[in-house]
Amino acid sequence: MLLSSSAALAQTSGVYDYAIVGAGVFGTWIARNLHLAGQRVVLIDQYGPANNRASSGGETRIIRMGYGDREIYTQFSWRALELYKQFYAKLDPTLFQETGFLWLVRPGDTYAASNLPVFDRLKIPYEKLDTTALRKRYPQIELGPITWGLYEPNAGGLLARRGVQTVVRETVRQGLAYRQASIVSRQGTTLKTDAGDSISAGTVIYACGPWLRKLFPDVLGKKINPTRQEVFYFGAPADGSFRAPKMPAWIDAGDTIYGLPDIENRGFKLAPDQHGVTVDPDTQERLVPATSVARVREYVKRRFPKLANAPLTQTEVCQYENTANGDYLIDRHPGEKNVWLVGGGSGHGYKHGPALGEYVAGILLKNKEIDPRFLLAAKPDIAAHGRHSTIPPPEKK
């Protein structure tokens, strides 16, 4: 059982400084930071922390530093990596696996190269690999049009669902109030649960990932689009060639697909990065159609021929909660001073959990400034924008 202590189930009626709705990676790390800063905090989730409908509920997520010229995200990654390692060291070091991360780059792709000045400035280690080095190090990758690789040795895979559940369990052990309930209505900062009781707080933070638009259709109807995303695991050979250190996490942006090596014997993971159709996270079915499997198999045959006949051993269906340009949303509700909206992870938010929690706590408790990119006013309407992948184009021309 995730939360076995009586503290977890303790009655959470009463008044809190902060109520956080949503125990995904964002809400959980915000709750932890506020709780450790001495605030009275309650964390609430309808289906449970990192549940199998939530965006944070998958097996694994990549942490990489490269964000092109969007340096703030590189800084978040670097800080989050430090915080993840620190936090997991005592509790369960397997929750971060340092597999490295490999950008597979082809002619005309300027994004990977745009990371280099940022890495140099922030002293983030990397290696540039030409095709000879790539073939020698990764003989299981058929390079095709790929002309070089950018390798981040400190990057890797985070155990997503287990990670969030560990943070909640540990913070509850340290006194955080956690409540499993659906918030069905609200009046200012007083929340009504599906069980009919109320929870009151000085400030309410909605960190509801792909549900945010459903909860705030007037404000976020055109700003966050939850799209269906599919994930595939193929049975890896017994020789370890698809496990770290022989195989890193990787992205092949030219084919709009990325993946992770075999972690915890779950298989070799591939995740197409094109945005799927708009979905409702409560009701979408999690079955993967044969056409999607065939498309991924065709790619696997081409890029990882050794896996051409590998069995598909597992699939996941999740959703990205996309803003039009991939920037997160961190802002007050435009009509309610003590209500905050945090989300828009846009297919890349998991890695930043601890850094984002620290950042949001700094805004709330120390009056730190919000980078303008995170404000609601900086979010273009989804319909007017053609973005369709996690790797955005460079910002500066």
Ligand X SMILES: Cc1cc2nc3c(=O)[nH]c(=O)nc-3n(C[C@H](O)[C@H](O)[C@H](O)COP(=O)(O)OP(=O)(O)OC[C@H]3O[C@@H](n4cnc5c(N)ncnc54)[C@H](O)[C@@H]3O)c2cc1C
Contacting residues toward ligand X, per CB under 6 A: 21-27, 44-47, 51, 54-56, 58, 61-62, 182-183, 207-211, 215, 229, 231, 271, 318-320, 343, 345, 347-351
Which amino acid is present at 83?
L
Nearest distance from C-beta of residue 240 to ligand X, angstroms: 22
- Shortest reach from residue 321's CB to ligand X, in Å: 6
Whose Cβ is closer to ligand X: residue 229's or residue 241's?
Answer: 229
- The smaller minimum CB distance to ligand X, of residues 147 and 315, is found at 315
Please report how close the Cβ of residue 135 comes to ligand X at its closest, in angstroms. 26
H or E element at residue 17: strand 15-21
DSSP state letter for 136 = H
Closest separation in Å from C-beta 237 to ligand X: 23
Distance CA 46, CA 195 (A): 11
For 15, 31, 167, 270, 357, the CA distances from 2, given in Å and listed in that order, are: 25, 17, 11, 28, 22
Nearest CB to ligand X, comparing residues 52 and 131: 52
Residues 6+ apart with CB under 8 A from 299: 255, 257, 270
Measured in degrees and rounded to the nearest 5, phi and psi for residue 229 equal -130, 135
Contacts of residue 166, Cβ cutoff 8 Å, sequence gap at least 6: 88, 91, 92, 95
Question: Is beta strand 190-193 parallel, antiparallel or unpaired with respect to 198-206?
Answer: antiparallel
What does each C-alpha distance from 23 to 206, 210, 237, 338, 374 come to in angstroms? 10, 12, 36, 19, 20
Contact 280, 226 (CB under 8 A): yes
Judged by beta carbon, residue 235 or residue 347, the one nearer ligand X is 347
Minimum CB separation of residue 111 from ligand X in Å reads 16
Q: Which is nearer to ligand X, 147 or 170 (CB)?
A: 170
Give the span between the Cα atoms of 119 and 111, in whole angstroms. 13
* Cα 343 to chain centroid, rounded: 10
Between 12 and 55, name the residue whose CB sits nearer to ligand X.
Answer: 55
Nearest to 103 by CA among 119, 126, 74, 76: 126
Nearer to ligand X, 66 or 209 (CB): 209
Question: From CA 26, how far away is CA 30, in angstroms rounded?
Answer: 6
3-state secondary structure of 4: coil
Shortest separation between residue 198's beta carbon and ligand X, angstroms: 13
Q: Which is nearer to ligand X, 108 or 180 (CB)?
A: 180
- Name the amino acid, one letter, at 183: I
Whether the ω angle into residue 107 lies within 30 degrees of 0, i.e. cis, is no
- What is the DSSP code (8-state) at residue 203? E
Output 47 or 78, the one with its CB closest to ligand X.
47
* Shortest reach from residue 381's CB to ligand X, in Å: 20
Least CB distance to ligand X at residue 192 (A): 10
Rounded Cα gap, residues 373 and 370, in angstroms = 8
